[in-house]
Structure 1
Amino acid sequence: MRRQGLFKKMVKFGNTPNVITYGILINGLCRTGNTNVALKLHEEMTNRKGKSGLFCEPNIVCYSTIIDSLCKNGLIDKAKELFLGMQGGGISPDVVVYSSLIHGLCCWGKWEEAKGLFNEMVDQGIRPNLVTFNTLVHVLCKGGKMEEANKLLELMIQRGENPDIFIYNTLMDGYCLVGRLNSARQMFDFIKSNGYEPDVVSYNVLINGYCKNRRVEEAMNVYAEMTDKGVMQTVITYNALLTGLFQTGKIKDARRLFDEMKAHDLVPNSTTYNIILDGLCKNDCLPEAMELLITLENCRFPLSIETYNILINELGKAGKIELARKLFARLSHKGLVPTVATYSIMINGLCMDSNLEAAKKLFSEMEENGCAPNVVTYNTLMHGLCQQNESALVVELLHKMAERNVSPDVSTASIVVNLLSKDKSYSEYLNLLPTFPPQ
């Protein structure tokens, strides 16, 4: 890096870098993803026996920058170590350092530690800022702990911090997550009564919540309200509404909304088309879905493997296994690599078509192509084998699962019970079943 080169020249010519110089360099290294280099530089600063022979006590800015970068990179233990070293060196953490570490702990699932650090911060007389509260409210809402999130909001207001629209949107999203749609709507109205204007995220959160709970009419009312207020819809708005409309079988409304989306000059993304294709298939409009796929292919729209998975799955369920196989064969020509989900879907279709030989062959090809089967793949093939009374092959697959440390699930147990109950030689097979390590 240029900054490091300049730093070395500076030292070479006898100019002693001060803490500001180090701080600028550490900031540059962290911002460009070179946190480990920044950490080494920090260690050199504090090491009187370092290669450079220089010693410069890091200030709070140096610590804050590196701790924040370590947390963002998931190196929480190292960040905590640096935090303790900072305190041990007589430098008191400020709200920025505490907020960075709290955010890092929350992001990596260490909620109890984050809560403890928050309490320590308050006990030290350090006033939490908006970032601190935003972080904690977000984690609480994500975990469905709405009562705790509301208490934190009250504490925030008591301490003189004005909640921003981000916090209100987060709380709305939390209520939607736990199915408390009426509370989410009340929060939405509360935003307006407190002098804030709900933004596009506020509307999207409420629309998505209604749609996920199949309250599509209310979602459409919010959409109309959004239009009346002049809030511009986004692709996310339409994706949520299209999902809700298809789930409730409102095909005509979904088509009309899609046309409206394009009329507003919003470009559908791959998620939009996946929602439409999946919705058409699940509402018995498979021919229309296939026509749309061909149109997208002809337009050279960048389709993902998930798009093809949707159609291969529906073709298999509809008994059109040959069409599914043709679509599967085309994947390599499209530059797409089948995933474990793709193989599992295809194997399921072949089993439903009673073509076990082709299913077993595909299972072997899957492994040869470096795609390791998961528990769903094993269950799918074993279920098909059970249907054809291929008990010995089911036991063989169970042994393969055990050898490859693929943990069985409830479906696996159901298959084994079915196997033992159907076969007269169940006691023989019982003795042949493998032992899986405890989870």
Structure 2
Amino acid sequence: MSFRRTPHSFPQPSTSSASKNATKLSSLLQKSIPKPPQPPITFKPPTTNPLHCFDYMILLQPIPPISQFNQLLNSVPKSQLKIILFRKFNNTHLPISPNFITLNIVLNCYCHLNEVGFAFGVFGLILKKGFVPDSVTYTSLIQGLLKKNQIFEAVRLFRKMVLFGNVSYTNVSYTNVSYTYGTLISGLCRAGDIDTAIRLHEDVVHGKMGCLGFVCKPSGVCYSVLIDNLCKNGRVSKAKELFMEMRMRRISPDVVAFSSLIRGLCFMDLREAKRLFVEMVNEGVRPSVTVFNLLVHVLCKDRRLNEASGLFEFMVRKGEKLDSLSYNTLMHGYCLEGKIEEAKELYVSMVAKGIEPDVQIHNVLIDGYIKVRRVEEALRIFKQMVRGTIKPNVVTYNVLLTGVLQKGDVLTARKLFDEMPLYHLTPSLCTYNILLSGLCKNDRVSQALDLLQALESNGTELGIKVYNSVIDGLCKSGRMETAYDIYTKLSSKGLKPTVVTYTIMIHGFCKTGQVKKADSLFFEMIENKCAPNVVTFNAFMRKGSNMGPKVVELVKKAVERKVTPDASTLSLMVDLLSKDEKYKKYLDTLRTFLEVG
């Protein structure tokens, strides 16, 4: 007989009992198996808006440390927004408090916003919380005071910082305080108070601050700022003293210190300026091209062309890259001395080095040829220039017009003048003056008058110099009536006669024997408070042998109206009177009157 087990052979447990047992077993297994460490939950706000980021941060549990709030403040570029975040931080009453870094950030923001009063309020909070202000704190406050132009308060705060022992005597602190000191020095110089800056500098470096005799080693930047401002104020001797002090303290001068002192010496001691420049290059301090160009320019202006040329070659040997202005400056020096061939050689060498000559360099070369009366070569360079990519300017045409009119080539001058609009150039007052004066000097007075009338009809605003040129041409050609007619109409054109205008007319009347008109014009000149010059009095001296009393009377009238001739004019008058026995008796009268006047 077989025995078969059926499903009903054993009792079945209830469903609810089995479920409970399974749950217990699972719970026991989970407790017995160690869990792997879970990574920290990182919160990434879905926005870059600082205010929104702050709102998310205060919802986190636990609240992030104050360092993370400081990072948020530092990431905000605008000071005003940082202040808003700080106020919001205080208003939320979080279980964390701002630390020293937080307060320093806020203090600096208030200083940037020109709210120094609030900044000092934060400074008081720093002290109240027991924090010790550092150089960053003081530097921010000093910058804020300087922005408000409260110079005295800024200096006093720095002295208090040193006096109250807020500076520990360590190398790090020296560096930090040097930065604060440098900030104050720069601010004082920007405010134009160079004297206070110098006094502060001397107190600091000579240990005259603080109860322990605080000594600070200023940086090279501080010295450079002081030297630069001293030179700009014409105090080059004091700047030299500071420069020597740098040397003694083994502080290497930078390009600013060298350049500033060289700039100042250029107008006081050119030899010393040149020596200092060479010293700078030899020490490996790369000079600015601007300073080099200035030095070359001053040497050329002082007629020391050989020294300027030697300095130029020195820079080339040192491998320094010079710009087109460097070549322009030396070329101009050569042209002033009439050394046009040397100028042309320099031009060729510049092109060979790949430096593209501009219109200013061409103008210098053209002007150089004009000055040595080589007009054809000047025109050749001009044509070569316009065939290329360089467009002439008004100066180019002014130089060429001067040259061709000096040569008497009126036709070429008119052609040059007429082609100016092709290059979109508008003639300047100088252009009209050159052309009208040139026409008059070449006996083309009628053409000059026609051109003048055409310009007036077109509404071209002409200056007094233009009219002076035409009046001069008319006077020299004996056309005094026309000259006087133009003179009388000047006021209707809004122009006031100058000493040149009066002198031209007076000389013309004297030359044509119209002495009474010359006298009348002279008194009109005095009435209009226009001081006569040497040429004016010289014209009167030559108009007759009985002018001794008249000269004394004219000077008397001039002084009575507070229009006193200058020293050179009076010297010439005395010389002229002394040369003739008939005039000597008037000298004492003239001297006595001038002493009284």
Aligned to 2:152: none
TM-score (norm 1): 0.80
Q: Does 1:213 align with 2:382?
A: no
Contact 2:138–2:180 (CA under 8 A) maintained in structure 1: no
Instruction: Provide TM-score, normalisation by structure 2.
Output: 0.60
> What is residue 37 of structure 1 aligned with on the other side?
192
Q: Deviations over 1:237-277 (max 9, x none)?
A: 11111111111011111111111111221111111111111
- Contact 2:577 / 2:584 at 8 angstroms: preserved in 1? no
In the alignment, structure 1 residue 275 sits paired with structure 2 residue 434 = yes
**Structure 1 residues 68 and 366 mapped into 2: Cα distance closer, same or farther (>3 Å)?**
farther
Per the alignment, residue 114 of structure 2 pairs with 6
Unaligned runs of 5+ in 1: none
1:5-404 equivalences in 2 (<5 Å): 6=114, 8=116, 12-13=120-121, 14=123, 15-17=137-139, 37=192, 39=194, 42=197, 46=201, 59-61=219-221, 63-65=223-225, 67-68=227-228, 71=231, 75-77=233-235, 79-82=236-239, 84-85=241-242, 87-88=244-245, 90=249, 92-106=252-266, 108=267, 110-118=269-277, 121=280, 126-384=285-543, 387=544, 389-394=546-551
Assess, with a 3 A threshold, how the Cα gap between structure 1 residues 22 and 411 changes in structure 2: closer, same or farther.
Answer: same
Q: Matched residue pairs, number?
A: 417
Deviations 1:46-92 (A, max 9, x none): 47899xxxx998754455456546645xx322x54245346537454
Inter-CA distance 427–252: structure 2 relative to 1 (3 Å threshold): closer
Aligned residue number for residue 406 of structure 1: 567
Question: Any conservation in 2 of the 1:398–1:434 contact (CA below 8 Å)?
Answer: no
Unaligned 5+ runs, structure 2: 1-110, 124-136, 141-177, 210-214
The answer on whether the counterparts of 1:11 and 1:17 sit within 8 Å (CA) in structure 2 is: no
Q: Which stretch shifts more, 186-195 or 245-254? A: 186-195
Q: Go from structure 1 to structure 2 and tell me whether the alpha carbon gap of 1:4 and 1:297 turns closer, same or farther (over 3 Å shift).
A: farther
Distance across 2 between alignment mates of 1:429 and 1:205: 51
2:293, 2:325 within 8 Å by CA — same for their partners in 1? yes
CA distance in 2, matches of 1:316, 1:4: 68
CA apart distance, 1:43? 5.2
1:331 Cα deviation from its structure 2 partner: 2.8
Aligned residue for 1:372, secondary structure, equals coil
- Cα distance in 1 for residues equivalent to 2:302 and 2:463: 31
Supply the distance in 2 between the matched residues of 1:334 and 1:87 (Cα, whole angstroms). 60
- Counterpart amino acid of 2:245? G
- Distance in 2 between residues matched to 1:317 and 1:396, nearest whole Å: 28
Q: 1:43 to 1:250 in 2, by over 3 A?
A: same
Query: Partners of 2:357 and 2:226 in 1: how far apart?
Result: 36
CA 1:6/1:326 → structure 2, altered by over 3 Å: closer, same or farther?
Answer: farther
Which of the two has higher C-alpha Rg? 2
Q: Which amino acid in 1 is paired with 2:277?
A: F
Separation in 1 of the partners of 2:415 and 2:576? 44
Cα drift, residue 287 of structure 1: 2.0
